[in-house]
Amino acid sequence: MRHLLVAAASLMLGACAAPLPQPDPRQAWVELYTPAVNLLMADRLDRKYWPDGRYFQVSPGAHELEARFQFEAGRGGIGMDRDSTRITCDIRVRYDDFAAGQRYRLEADSMGLTVRAWLYDSQRNPLVEGEVTRCGPF
Query: How many folded domains does the chain comprise?
Result: 1
Q: Model's pTM, two decimal places?
A: 0.81
**93 closest CA partner among 39, 53, 44, 29:** 44
Instruction: Give 13-62 pLDDT, tens digit per residue.
Output: 455 578 988 999 999 999 999 999 999 999 999 999 999 999 999 999 99
Domain residue limits at 126: 2-136
Q: What are phi and psi of 16, to 5 degrees?
A: -70, -30
Is-contact 54 43, C-beta < 8 A?
no
